[in-house]
Structure 1
Amino acid sequence: MENDHTPTEHPAAGQDVGFDDVAAAATRLQDEGRTVDADAVRAILGAGSTAAIFRHLAAWRASRAVPAAPPPAELPEALLAGLADWARQFADASGAGTRDALAQSEADMAALLDDTERLEGERDGLLAQVAEVGDARDAALAVVSERGETIERLTAELNNARQVAMEALVGKAKDQLAIEGKDAQLADLRAQVERNVTATSALSDARLAAQMELVGATTARDSLAAENQQLRAQIASLRAR
């Protein structure tokens, strides 16, 4: 039985494993009489992608494949030489199908590993997009909150302006009732009333514009949330594949 080659340090989370790590874990499993497969190796290492573990495990198996030594022959050398030539020819002829099947299996395994790496890359890209959408959603929510504060401030200013206008109108009306026949003062009162009405209309327009911006920000937030949901559905579909 070979010595235990358990690695002293496992790869850190997020890092891929090397051949030495996989070989040491596989040797340990074999020495302990356990099944040597990718899941068992990953359980020992605690890290590494499936594609990398498959590739290193295949290389480890190939490195340990040692042909069996032929038994000693007691026949004459000439006969032994003829038999050896016949045996080699027979082995080559009989093993051609096995070699072809093995080559095909290796090709299929390489294709599977390439597809696995490609899917893992696509998964990482989608996760990055989800993170970006989340950041955009947070930014939109911050804008909505800021617009809400602006609307509250404009509403308070509009109420104050209305109160001031009403007090001014009441005061002017009392003065004008006490002074009859003064057309100039009446004209001034009308002008002030018109200015107050104009200011009130301007504040109302500002409040309406702020409400329209709030509606736009809310629509953008809902659109980002829907896009986020679609990306999560795509990730779930890729994982199912």
Structure 2
Amino acid sequence: MAEHNIPQLDIPASVAAALNSWVRQAAQDVGSPLRSEIEDLRAQLATAHATLEENEDQITRLNGELRNARNIAADALVGKAKDQLAIEGKDAQIAELRGQLERSVAIAATLSDAKLAAEMELVGAATARDNYLAEVSELRTQLEACRAARRAG
């Protein structure tokens, strides 16, 4: 094959300036929605963190209330048992104590269910936070890839 000498073409400065302006505008147009989405995700992440903190506070409060309720119930049962045992009619006493114990267990179960529900909300908030963090990381990677492609282009 014969080699041909192809003359080098110089791009006029006005064309280069117009291309440069167009490339910058295109890069801004492409990056703008990503920046907006990143800000939205950051706001969602902040909301998830706030919810997580609220849930942690609520769990701590519920644990304290549960301990207090157990102590009150135990004290009440002991006091009631001492009073009841001093009276005749052991069968009636046993039935009453059984009812109190069942109510106490029901209260403890209700508090336990509330604690479990709060913990499940906390797990959900933590999962949502982790998902938001992963999305932010992915978007940052995409943004960096866009920037790298823009620099390479």
TM-score after normalising by structure 2: 0.80
In structure 2, what is the Cα distance between the partners aligned to 1:179 and 1:103? 109
Q: Which residue of 1 aligns with 2:143?
A: 235
Q: Which residue of 1 aligns with 2:6?
A: none
Q: Which residue of 2 aligns with 1:166?
A: 74
**Structure 2 vs 1, CA of residues 107 and 153 (structure 1 numbering), >3 Å: closer, same or farther?**
same
Identity %: 45
1:212 equivalenced with 2:151 (yes/no): no
C-alpha distance after superposition, 1:57-107 (max 9, x if no partner): xxxxxxxxxxxxxxxxxxxxxxxxxxxxxxxxxxxxxxxxxxxx6899876
More helix by share: 2
RMSD of aligned alpha carbons: 2.3
Q: How big is the shift at 1:127?
A: 1.5
Structure 1 spans left out of the alignment, 5+ residues: 1-100
Q: Which residue of 1 aligns with 2:28?
A: 120
In structure 1, what is the Cα distance between the partners aligned to 2:85 and 2:92? 14
1:143 equivalenced with 2:51 (yes/no): yes
Structure 1 residue identity aligned to 2:137? Q
Residue 179 of structure 1 aligns to a residue in which SS? Answer: coil
For 1:1-241, list aligned pairs within 5 A: 110-111=18-19, 113-241=21-149
C-alpha distance after superposition, 1:189-226 (max 9, x if no partner): 22112111111111011100100000000000011111
**Structure 2 vs 1, CA of residues 104 and 187 (structure 1 numbering), >3 Å: closer, same or farther?**
same
Q: How big is the shift at 1:123?
A: 1.6
Structure 1 residue identity aligned to 2:105? V
Q: How big is the shift at 1:157?
A: 1.0
Structure 2 spans left out of the alignment, 5+ residues: 1-8
Q: Which residue of 2 aligns with 1:38?
A: none
Moved over 6 A (4+): 101-109
Count of residue pairs brought into register by the alignment: 141
Structure 1 residue identity aligned to 2:42? G
Q: How big is the shift at 1:184?
A: 2.8
Where relative contact order (Cα < 8 A, 6+ residues apart) is larger, the structure is: 2
In structure 1, what is the Cα distance between the partners aligned to 2:94 and 2:134? 60
TM-score after normalising by structure 1: 0.53
Structure 1 residue identity aligned to 2:58? T
Residue 89 of structure 2 aligns to a residue in which SS? Answer: coil
Structure 2 residue identity aligned to 1:190? R
